Structure 1
C-alpha cells in the first residue's frame, strides 16, 4: 500500500510493522520513525487505528481467562507420564497407596556432524 506521498519510511513497511509498534516490540529509534510516519500519513493512521481497535478487542475478549484447575491437573499428569515413559521409569502402586519406582537408565548418545 502507498498513499502516493513521499515518506522517509514506505507505507507498506510501516503497515508490515504496525503490530510490532502496537506491542512495543521495536527499538526506540524504529518506534519514533513509525510514529512520525503515522502522524504524517492519514491512510496508514486509519489502518493503524483499525489494528489498534482489533488488538484491544482481542485483549478484552481473550485475555484474563485461566484454565480450570482440573485441566491443569490432567495436563500435569499427562506430562509426568510422558516424561517417565521417555526416561523409561516405571511407577507401581503398592499396598495402601505406597509406590515403588523402578528406574532403568539407558544412555544414548547422538552426535551431529556438520
Structure 2
C-alpha cells in the first residue's frame, strides 16, 4: 500500500461518518461509494461503523427489561450503602 493510498484512505474514512448520516452531496457520495467498492480495508471499517451506529440507535430506543432494571437498581443501592458505611 503506497503512502498516497494511505492519505486517500484517511480522507475517505473521515467522510464515511457523513456518508453514513446521508450528509454528503451526490458527487461526494459517489466518490465515497467508488472508493469503498475498490478498497477492502475501508469497506470493513465502513461496515463496522455502520453496525455500531445501528446497534447504538437500537439500544437507545429499547427499554431494559423490568427484571434487569430492578437488579441494577438493587446493586446500585448496595454500592451506595457500602460507600456511605465505608
TM range (shorter): 0.5 to 0.7
Aligned residues: 62
- Whose relative contact order is higher, 1 or 2, with alpha carbons under 8 Å and at least 6 apart? 2
Supply the RMSD in Å over aligned alpha carbons. 2.2
Paired with 1:41 and 1:4, the residues of 2 have a C-alpha distance of: 13
Q: Secondary structure at the match of 2:24?
A: coil
Runs of 4+ with deviation above 4 angstroms: none
TM-score by length of 1: 0.48
Residue ranges of structure 2 left out of the alignment (5+ in a row): 64-86
Higher strand share: 1
Residue ranges of structure 1 left out of the alignment (5+ in a row): 66-114
Q: Which has the larger radius of gyration?
A: 1
Matched, 1:12 2:13: no
Higher helix share: 2
C-alpha deviation, 1:44, in angstroms: 0.2
